[in-house]
Amino acid sequence: MAKRFLYIFLDEAGNLDFSSNGTRYFLLSSVTKERPFYTCNDLIELKYNLVEAGMNIEYFHASEDTQAVRNKVFDIICQNLGGIRVDSLVVEKRKTGPALRTEERFYPEMLGYLLRYVLNGFNLSKYTEIIVFTDRLPVQRKRKAVEKTIKLTLAAMLPSQVRYRIFHHDSKSNYDLQIADYCNWAIYRKWDKCDTRSYDLIRAVVKSEFEIFQTGGRIYY
């Protein structure tokens, strides 16, 4: 049987300031797909087209790119939606209990919820390996906690013959992490600003937006 690989690219939006000064929402999103990855080639072409037009652009990052650049990136993403699945876990932070707010607990637990839901949508026995990419995490204790959560989740859900690997790569070096950033940004804008301009472009491949504390009635701040 030919080898088959499932790729999961993760991104986050919002901050972990649990106060009125922080963002209202925290989002974790995943882009799940299999090769071939045609979008990367198109983004490379776009990058150098922009350089030749006089721009100094190192990589694509939705919250920092100009609207003109975002339009071009979303055009490319929309031309390559086939085989892509996007899932998002939405946290209204003011509903988060104090015991859950530590970075070592909050982030891994939310990530575990997201990964379990995503993986339940696939017949995992068909795959040789699951490969997970996150952006490089600057805080070592957070990186270790995240890696532990991913390993525990995958080990519990994957058939014994299915391998897995986890990579923490700088998103600047990985166009698929940049695509995940764009998709997550679009979903975040929808929730935080009621702005669906970019979300509507990718709506067809957004499989889920799970608001984890939707039924929670208690507001902590």
- Is 110 within a domain? yes
- Is 220 within a domain? no
Query: For the chain, how far is it from start to end, CA to CA, in angstroms?
Result: 55
Is the peptide bond preceding residue 36 cis, with omega within 30 degrees of 0?
yes
Q: Chain centroid to CA 11: how far?
A: 3
Categorise residue 129: left if φ over 0, alpha if ψ from -120 to 50, beta otherwise.
Answer: beta
- Is 84 within a domain? yes
- Is 218 within a domain? no
Whether the pLDDT of residue 102 is over 90: the answer is: no
pLDDT at position 20 is 94
Whether the pLDDT of residue 82 is over 80: the answer is: yes
State mean pLDDT over 12-29: 96
Return the higher-pLDDT residue of 141 and 83.
83
Return the residue matching tokens 């957070």: 142
| Helix H or strand E segment including 10 | strand 5-13
CATH number for the domain harbouring residue 170 = 3.30.420.10
- Is 221 within a domain? no
- Is 77 within a domain? yes
Q: Which domain holds residue 145?
A: 5-211
- Is 99 within a domain? yes
- Is 190 within a domain? yes
State mean pLDDT over 80-101: 96
The radius of gyration of the chain's CA atoms, rounded to the nearest angstrom, is 18
- Which pair of tokens denotes residue 152? 């525990």
Lowest mean pLDDT across 5-9, 17-21, 212-216: 212-216
How many domains in the chain? 1
Percent of the residues in the chain that have a pLDDT greater than 90, as a whole number: 85
Confidence of residue 136 (pLDDT cuts 50, 70, 90): confident
d(CA 14, CA 102): 15
